Structure 1
Amino acid sequence: MDGVQESGRYVGEPDGLNRLWTPHRMAYVGGENKPKDSSQDQCPFCVIPSKSDEDGLVVARGDLAYVVLNLYPYNSGHLMIVPFEHVSMYSEISNAVMVEMGELTQRAMHALQRAMSPSGFNIGMNQGEAGGAGIAAHLHQHVVPRWIGDSNFFPIIGQTKAMPALLANTRVQLADVWE
């Protein structure tokens, strides 16, 4: 298999495991598209709404928040609900933004159910750098569709996720069923 190497040839102590190298993930690990500072002009979540839906991978827009595909998804269909306002913490948003984010989350789940028939969902927010937020300066909520058995050896052992669909195609698929 291309990209798989015997561990004993490239590490200090052989451990009997093969390695599946995924150099494309270095863009994420290395911070590609991550803002250099917390200012709005550097923030991808502030820039995305100015792009076309296709270029920004936007699935839907509300009055106070929008729904976008994750550029570095955990699973196919991994969406984020993002307020237009540049705030970092859930405690900083208004009740109106909170309600719209909740409504968009429900609509995202319905669209994902219609388009992809997941068995379940992970929904959550990582807030602050210490909380695991990749872009800590701008609040965003993840909606990750899950299927029975989607945690196979690739992500658990190989630290790799096989994605069966291109992001642009997934955006169209979800936008088409969005209500």
Structure 2
Amino acid sequence: MKETKGIDMEYLYAPWRTAYITDAEKGKIEGCVFCHISQHPDMDEAHHVLYRTERCFVVMNRYPYTPGHFMIIPHRHTDALEALEEETWVEMSLLAQKGVRMLKEGFGAQGVNLGMNLGAAAGAGIAEHIHLHLVPRFQRDTNFITTVGHARVYGTDFQAVYEKLRGMVADFLK
């Protein structure tokens, strides 16, 4: 077991994730990962970008809570929601509304969690660049393994989920 902030974390064997992990290490990004993704539209497939607009982009979460978890991120680098241009916030909100519809109607989610962790103290993993999470939820998708076993199980192929959602973009996000 590995000590993590005073909590013992157990890891489950998931051999299908080896390529994902080794690719991430080979292409380690310097600086803000979200700015890197924003500035490299030619790498959208490799970065698992679902959609881009003038002010924002929609990208799969590399460390998802559930299959289909994605984020809406402004191109502008800021850690302050209150400093974001109103037009950008409106665009993020409209994309969130369309994204919820896509997750429910296209992906079969029975609910969706929306959230922003503003700052490291609020739990943001990448605190320097705001982002809005959309996490699809399903009846009985929660269990005690995360709480009791300190492990997370991702029960489907990440790339397959990305391709499925990317195929729905024209029907839902545009």
Instruction: Please indicate the TM-score interval, normalised by the length of the shorter structure.
Output: 0.7 to 0.9
User: Given the two structures, how large is their TM-score scaled by the length of structure 1?
Assistant: 0.76
1:101, distance to aligned residue in structure 2 (A): 0.2
Q: For 1:3-152, list aligned pairs within 5 A.
A: 20-22=10-12, 42-49=31-38, 50=40, 51-152=42-143
Q: Distance in 1 between matches of 2:11 and 2:35?
A: 33
Q: Distance in 2 between matches of 1:34 and 1:93?
A: 28
4+ aligned runs moved over 4 Å, structure 1: 32-35
Q: Distance in 2 between matches of 1:34 and 1:129?
A: 21
CA contact (8 A) 1:122 1:144 kept: yes
- The equivalent of 1:10 in structure 2 is none
Q: Distance in 2 between matches of 1:82 and 1:92?
A: 14
Instruction: Look up the equivalent residue of 1:142 and give its one-letter code.
Output: H
Q: 2:160 aligns with which of 154, 158, 169?
A: 169
1:165, distance to aligned residue in structure 2 (A): 2.2
1:34, distance to aligned residue in structure 2 (A): 9.0
Percent identity of the aligned residues?
34
Q: How many equivalent residue pairs?
A: 152
1:20, distance to aligned residue in structure 2 (A): 4.3
1:160, distance to aligned residue in structure 2 (A): 2.0
Q: Deviations over 1:101-160 (max 9, x none)?
A: 001111211221233211111101001111111011000011101111111122222222
User: Given the two structures, how large is their TM-score scaled by the length of structure 2?
Assistant: 0.78
Q: Deviations over 1:6-29 (max 9, x none)?
A: xxxxxxxxxxxxx843488xxx9x
CA contact (8 A) 2:104 2:111 kept: no
CA contact (8 A) 2:67 2:156 kept: yes
1:54, distance to aligned residue in structure 2 (A): 1.2
Bigger radius of gyration among the two: 1
Gaps of 5+ in 2: 2-8, 15-20
The structure whose RCO (Cα within 8 Å, separation 6+) is larger is 2
> Structure 1 pair 34/125, CA: closer, same or farther in 2 (3 Å)?
farther
**How much is the aligned-residue C-alpha RMSD, in angstroms?**
2.6
